[in-house]
Structure 1
Amino acid sequence: MTSHTVEYIRYLIPEQQSPQFLAAYTRATAHLAAAPQCVDYELARCEKDFEHFVLRITWTSTEDHVEGFRGSELFTDFIAEVGPFDGSIEEMRHYKPTTVRGTGAAVPTLYAWAGGAEAFTRLTEAFYAKVLKDDVLAPVFEGLAAEHASHVASWFGEVFGGPPAYSETQGGHGHMVAKHLGKGITEAQRRRWVNLLQDAADEAGLPTDAEFRSAFVAYAEWGTRLAVYFSGPDAVAPAEQAVPRWTWGSAPPYQG
């Protein structure tokens, strides 16, 4: 899976034309929203100089934008709305994201919101206490190493935005995947894992607000479905890659 491309289009629109410009883009974005090559978009206006606008569009790839969207009827309809303002474009370029990215303190990580390392230690201790007594999952974890729960707590902590303790002591995503190779995990076992994890989260006192729990369960669903795949007979271990970083209401794309 290739990384997304971000297109920036900078406009200088005379202030008296801004109502028409905004109206045109309000109509035109319906065609962006319908394009399978478009991930998201946003039109921003300068706070101090109202004549300056910046349109940001995230495309699935540069090729998808240039060869896909621009060759479609949606592009024809899009240009019919905003084409009259092409003479006001100051810049129109594609950019590739770099590894320099993150969130600021205004948005707490899921790790911090949950209560940090202590919360995930309580979670995994409660979880594996349940797992070892469970008829469906106990056979999967037979002979569980004493340090397993603490390693998984480090994994959860890093996934949800905490320090890279798992990466520094165990490895990346490939290391975790390797733990599941050949295990033959069933759908029934996967579902029980997700359910017991939610029960353990309640017992451990993790936050119960809808925003946190929806992200928490989304990761559990994502991770366990990958575990089922990689435990199967036809699975091919992925190349080494970083531990996924989970955040509010979104999931990192899996790259095989």
Structure 2
Amino acid sequence: MIVEYIRYRIADGRHTAFEEAYGRAAGPLRAAEQCVDYELSRCVEDPGAYVLRIRWTSTEDHLRGFRTGPQFAAFLAEVRPYVEDIEEMRHYEVTEVAGRGGSAPTLYAWAGGADAFERLFTRFYEHVGKDEVLAPVFAGMDPHHAEHVAAWLGEVFGGPARYSTGHGGHRHMASRHLGRGVTEQQRRRWVALLLETADEVGLPADPEFRGVLAYYLEWGTRMAVIYSGPNPPPLPETPMPRWDWGLTPPYRP
């Protein structure tokens, strides 16, 4: 992933036309397979200063892919009148210094913190033991299993790194599914029962939180099926996945 920044100086009287031109140029960007996302910003203190941020899959994909591909001509046709207004046009690598501010609570805090996740999974695994579809999967379950899974989801949703520091992180979680042969029926039942239990124990019911929760459960259980199958991929060496409002693990083809 690479980030291109283009800084413009647009004279008074051309601002509206400039923004409209980029509104049209956004079409080719949306259609370009090399483009991850884009954003045009205007300076509040200096209204003639604009910054266009485009994330490309790589510098080469931008220069040799997009610029020689079918979308570039349409893009350039819209922005050509403003090429002379460019003050900077460079590619930047993203560093490890990145994170979120405190303006919005984490999913972990919104759900109710450690108590909420422990309440959820304690009750959930009580149901699992009586469920004809899931009980065979969890026969002989570690008595601390609910506590461990609560720590896992809490960390994924922005809470303390209890699972990473105490249980081995992402690689360990994936390894716990090897050879288990989880079926699609069992996966679907796990998701449905957990969502029912979330209602039962009073987790937040707002559409935004429940949407992220359901999204994560679909992702996580499908990964579990993959690792539990006959030809699992190599165990992940990546950090714990982190989910947030509108933020999920990056897509990797």
**TM range, smaller chain:** over 0.9
Cα offset, 1:110, TM superposition: 0.6
CA-to-aligned-CA distance 1:159-207 (integer Å, 9 cap, x gap): 0011111111011211100000000000000000000110111112100
Q: RMSD in angstroms over aligned alpha carbons?
A: 1.4
Q: Which residue does 1:5 correspond to in 2?
A: 2
Q: Do structure 1's residue 133 and structure 2's residue 99 form an aligned pair?
A: no
Q: Distance in 2 between matches of 1:58 and 1:107?
A: 25
Cα offset, 1:126, TM superposition: 1.1
CA-to-aligned-CA distance 1:206-256 (integer Å, 9 cap, x gap): 000000000001000000000000001111332422110011233203669
Give the alignment's TM-score, normalised by structure 1: 0.95
Q: State the aligned residue count.
A: 253
What pairs up with 1:105-254 in 2 under 5 angstroms?
105-253=102-250
Q: Distance in 1 between matches of 2:141 and 2:194?
A: 17
CA-to-aligned-CA distance 1:61-102 (integer Å, 9 cap, x gap): 222222221111211110111022111111111122222222
**Percentage of identical aligned residues:** 58
Structure 1, unpaired ranges of 5+: none
CA-to-aligned-CA distance 1:124-146 (integer Å, 9 cap, x gap): 10111111111111111110011
Q: Distance in 2 between matches of 1:238 and 1:63?
A: 30
Q: Distance in 1 between matches of 2:104 and 2:46?
A: 28
Q: Distance in 1 between matches of 2:3 and 2:252?
A: 19
Q: Distance in 1 between matches of 2:24 and 2:168?
A: 49
Give the alignment's TM-score, normalised by structure 2: 0.96
Structure 2, unpaired ranges of 5+: none
Work out whether residues 37 and 64 of structure 1, in 8 Å CA contact, stay in contact via their aligned partners in 2: yes
